[in-house]
Every structure is written in structure tokens, then in C-alpha cells.
Structure 1
Amino acid sequence: MRKKASFPTAIPLFIGIIAVSFSSIFVKWASAPASIQGMYRLLFTVLLMLPFIGPYWSELKSLSFKKASMLFASGFFLALHFLLWMGSLKLTTVSSSTIILALEPVFIVFGAFILYKERTSRVSMLGMGVAIVGAVLIGWGDIGVSRDNLIGDMLSVFGTLAVSVHMLIGQKMITQVSSFIYSFVVFVSAVVVFAVYNLFTATPFIGYPGKDWLMFLLLAVVPTVFGHLLFNWLLQYVSATTISMSILGEPVGSSLLAFLLLGEQMTWFQIIGGLLAISGLVVFLNAGRLSRKAIGSQVGEPLKSA
């Protein structure tokens, strides 16, 4: 059962959206392979978390084999997500790649219903539909027909499916372990998966320029600590579906940053789509309050503030 938040969850969700929007920019600025970027991104994040592990050490040592296996599975799918999605950015534009992330809440909703019998209200579905239409418009002008672009789009699709599985496992495990231990073990597991992959493919671990190492560190601090780590922590207060819907803001932020920092152009379709995506996101995040208001008006009762 999820905890009741004593603060507006929209604030950390918004911070997380801004943070993850920088991820594609840093990936584009680095020349290292996606598997190396993903490995060092998470390794540096683990190192940043190590000084704070003291209070959680006993919990870490007492993890059962079943829990550890589930956490490793979550880490495996997170690594797979980074490998596929970051790889897609090498083949297509930021807008084309991040737009595919709009599929995440669709995968999450179906997965949450099948696994956890979690239902989504009509208002939430309406907000989701508007946001997805908006997200599709953002990348409509950039989805290319070249072979590389098509491969990049497919990599992003499978990467989105992988992160959806990661989020669904996380929704279950966050009720059984602390959010810190969940994130720490998942990130360590993903680092191990990346290391094995790089060894197997003979990808060099060192020899990259200084700019790449700076990007590895920025990927760890900005989109991982203030993005994924924050989202993992929020899973104890909100559903995986809500987190995935919030991430719909990433195509908006990433497309704008790509325009400003990478010179990638935005069409009117993308601008209109961004406005629709934000509007749908607002409706989704306020679905519970809107539904209660509708019910209250039907029975003639005033709506109580949350």
C-alpha cells in the first residue's frame, strides 16, 4: 500500500521532468558508445549514493534471495532501457527518440492492470490520450524515413518497453524495501549488466576524451539523481502510471533544449503538440480531484480541499 504524501507531489515530479529532459542533450554531446555512457552514468550515481548508505546497511545485508532477484531484474531492464534508448539517439533526432517515450504510460497502464489490477479513471484516460496525441505531434515532423532513423525509432520503442517493465517491478518492490535500497541495488545491478555487456562486446572501458567524462558525471547528477532517483523515491507515494505520465513532459523539455542547444528545429506541429502534452499531463495529474469534484456536484456536496 502506498504512503500518503504530506507535500504536493507535482513539485518533485516537475523537477524530475526538467532533469530527465537534459539526458538526451548530454548523450548527444558525448562521443562514447551508449553502453559506456550508461555504465558510467549509473556507476557515478552509485558512488554519489555510497556516503549515505550507513543507515540502510542492515537492510541491505538482510535482503532475501527473492527480493534481491527482483531488484536485479529491475536493474537489468533499466540497463536495457538505457542501452536501447541512448543508442537510438545516435541514429535519430532528440524529438524522434524521446517522442517514443509517449508509449510508456500505455505499456504501464496495461501492465499495471494485468499484474496489479490497477484501474485508471476515465478522466485520467482522457488526459493520457490528449498528452499522447500532443507528444506524437512533437515528433511528427522529425520521424524520418531513412534506414538509420527507422532503426533509431525501433530502438526507442523497445527501450520504452524495457523501462515500463522496470517501473512495474519497482512499483511492487518499493513497498517491500526502502526507496534508497531499491535505487542503490537496482543501479548497481544495471552497472554489472553494462560491464558484462561491454566485456562481451570488447568495448573499451577507458580512453575517452575529457568532455565525455564530464558528460558521464552530468548524466549521473542531473537526469539520474534528480530524475530517476527522485522518481524511484516518489513510487512510495504515487503509482508507476503517474510517474510514466509525468515523463511525457520529457519530449517537450528535450525538444525545446535540442532547439536551443543543438540547433534542432521545431515545427508548429511540435509547438502545438507540446502545449497539448502539457495540458493532458495537467489533466492526468489532477484526475482524482476532478473526479471527486464531478461526483460532489452530482450529489450536491461541496468539494473538500485535498
Structure 2
Amino acid sequence: MKVWTLPVLACGLVAISLSAIFIEWSNAPASIIGMYRLLMATALILPLAWRERSQLAHISRKDAAWLGVSGICLGLHFLFWIQSLKETSVASSLIILALEPLFVMVGEWLFLRSRVKGADVLAMAIAIIGAGLVAFADAGHQGDSLAGDGLSLLGTMAVSGYVLVGGRVRQTLTPWLYNAIVFAIAGGVLALFNMTTSIPFAPYTLHNWLMFALLACVSTVLGHGLFNLLLNRVQPTTIAMTVVGEPIVATLLAACLLGQPITRSTGLGGAICLLGVAWHLWRSARKSDNHTDPSGQKAEPANRRDRPQSLDTADT
């Protein structure tokens, strides 16, 4: 890697890890936070997406329908996951959310008939044991911590659906165009939820509007934009292993900025869970790194954005 790659990776990791902190600093309803974050992010990347709008002419009706379902899944993810942060700790919520690549693996096995090796099953078992320890630790606490863990699990299932459903369409659209469309649909889903549940769109304090803007600019556009930039320049293994660090960095930030303690049980369970997830992602990324063509030569993809679906991570 070039010298400047590590600082860019670090900036991207901190940017996405700050997402949970910005959400905790806002007292607006979860659906409002998610809606404004998505709509603001859409507005920010729209100029880049607009230049690539000609690609839309080549999308079939079936792919357009899958694009819509992908956006719905992303909207549900933000609804459940953001609410989970209101009811449990940052550490517990993000550790459970880290299971997403393994959920995607199961989805690929069920619906796409992908092969699953014994090592991947073992990685999933390790991660589930770790997540179970985290949930067990939360069950002993007063309040709604266990309910928050359940919401995080629902959010993980939703974002796994977003990754699986959108996998086909992502191969035909550039990241900026794909994200702009999906973010707009997901924001519309949350707007519809707010209207049907009579949650007001305004007024909110200036502090809340600042958190919405930081979520859109820093955590969404900057964080994931930096990773998209690096996908053309570093191995998928590097990106995958960096993103696994999000729960760790976010937990440390929550301890420093929010005063959320890290219990021994949560720390142990989180370490076990992330070990399983990291092992699975490392194996998946190595497959991509070592991909060879029929002639036996190592294949260099024209666009490194075309990475395996199992390397996609939750859009926090």
C-alpha cells in the first residue's frame, strides 16, 4: 500500500464509527434521524450520481424492482438499528450488527445456492456464541437493553437483505448512482413511516439538525466514500479487516464521549464475535484476492468495486 493509504483507511474507519455517537447525541425519534440522514446524503451525492444517469436506460424492470426492494430493506435497517441505540449500548448494538456478513452468507446459501464450507460454518458459530454472550450480559441489566439487542438483530437482518437483494443491481450501476437511488428510496420509506405514525417532521433543535448533517456528511458520504475510493487501490482483505474494527472504535468512542462502560462480559463476547466475523471476512476477501482466470493467471478486475457480496458491510 502507498503511504497515504493508512491515514485514509483510519479516517474512513473513524468516520463510520462516529455514526453511533452522533445518533446518541440526538434526542430526535429514530425514524426522523434516519430519514434526514438519508435524504441529506442523497442531496450531497446527487451531483455525482447525475453525471452517470445514462446507466439507468440499461436497467431492466426486474432490476428496477430489486432496486426498490433494496431501498426498502435499507430503510428498515436504519429504523431498527437507530432505535436499538436508544435502548442498548453502542457496544452491544454494533457487535450484533457485525453479524451481517454471516447473515449474508446464509442468505446466499439459501437463495443463491452458494457453497458454504465447514470453516465458514465454524466462523459463524464462533460469532453467534460471542453475540450470545453479549445478549446474556445485557439480560442481567435493568431497562430495555435486551429489547435493544433484538432491534439490532432485526436491523442486521434488514441490512443483510439490502446486501443480498442489491447485489445484482450493484454490478450494473456505479456506486454513487446506486447509493443515490437506494438512499432516496430508504429515506422515502422512513418519511412514509413518520407520516403514518404522526411523527412530526419539524421542529427540531439546531443541535439535532447538526447531528443529522454530521451523520450524512461524515459517517455516510465521507466514511463510505473513502472506502469506495480505496476499493480501486487496495486488496478487498484490507477493506474488510478495517471495517471489522468499527465496533471496537465505536465502543471506545462511546466510553470516552458518552461514558458508557465496557463490562467484562460484553468485552469478552464482543471479542469472540468479532473474531468469528473477521475470520469469515478474511477468508472471503482472500478468495477475491487470489481469484484466477481459466488460464491460471491471476485476474485483475476492471473495477475493484465488483467485490464479492459477502464483503459488503452494514451501512451504519
Q: TM-score, normalised by structure 1?
A: 0.77
Pair 1:104 & 2:100 matched:
yes
2:23 aligns to what?
Answer: 27
- The equivalent of 2:201 in structure 1 is 205
Q: Give the Å deviation of 1:232.
A: 7.6
Contact 1:104-1:164 within 8 A present in 2 as well: yes
Q: Percent identity?
A: 43
The alpha carbon displacement at 1:118 in A equals 2.3
Q: CA deviation at 1:247?
A: 5.3
Q: 1:157 aligns with which of 153, 161, 177?
A: 153
Confirm whether residue 177 of structure 1 aligns to residue 134 of structure 2: no
Structure 2 residue aligned with 1:294? none
Q: Structure 2: give runs of 5+ residues left out of the alignment.
A: 288-297, 301-316
Report the Cα offset of residue 139 of structure 1.
6.1
Q: Distance in 2 between matches of 1:117 and 1:13?
A: 34
Distance, in Å, in 2 between the alignment partners of 1:290 and 1:44 is: 35
Q: TM-score, normalised by structure 2?
A: 0.75
Instruction: Choose 16-25 or 123-132, whichever is displaced more.
Output: 123-132
Q: CA deviation at 1:105?
A: 2.9
Amino acid across the alignment from 1:55: R
Q: Which amino acid aligns with 1:191?
A: G
Query: How large is the Cα RMSD of the aligned pairs?
Result: 3.6
Aligned to 1:194: 190
Q: For each residue in 1:117-174, what CA deviation from the matched residue of structure 2 results, as whole angstroms up to 9, or x when unmatched? A: 2234444444454455455556654445546223222222211111110011122221
Name the CA shift for 1:140/1:246 in 2 (closer, same or farther; >3 Å).
farther
State the distance in 2 between where 1:86 and 1:289 align.
Answer: 29
CA displacement 1:3-38 (0-9 Å, x = unmatched): xxxxxx999887655433222111110011111100
Contact 1:87 1:152 in 2 (8 A): yes
Cα distance, 1:118–1:19 mapped onto 2, change above 3 Å: farther
Confirm whether residue 40 of structure 1 aligns to residue 36 of structure 2.
yes
SS in structure 1 at match of 2:87? coil
Q: Structure 1, residues 73-111: CA drift from partner, whole Å, max 9, x if none?
A: 111110101001111111222223223214323321110
Q: Structure 1 residues 290 and 162 mapped into 2: Cα distance closer, same or farther (>3 Å)?
A: closer
Q: Counterpart amino acid of 2:30?
A: A
Q: Which amino acid aligns with 1:70?
A: W
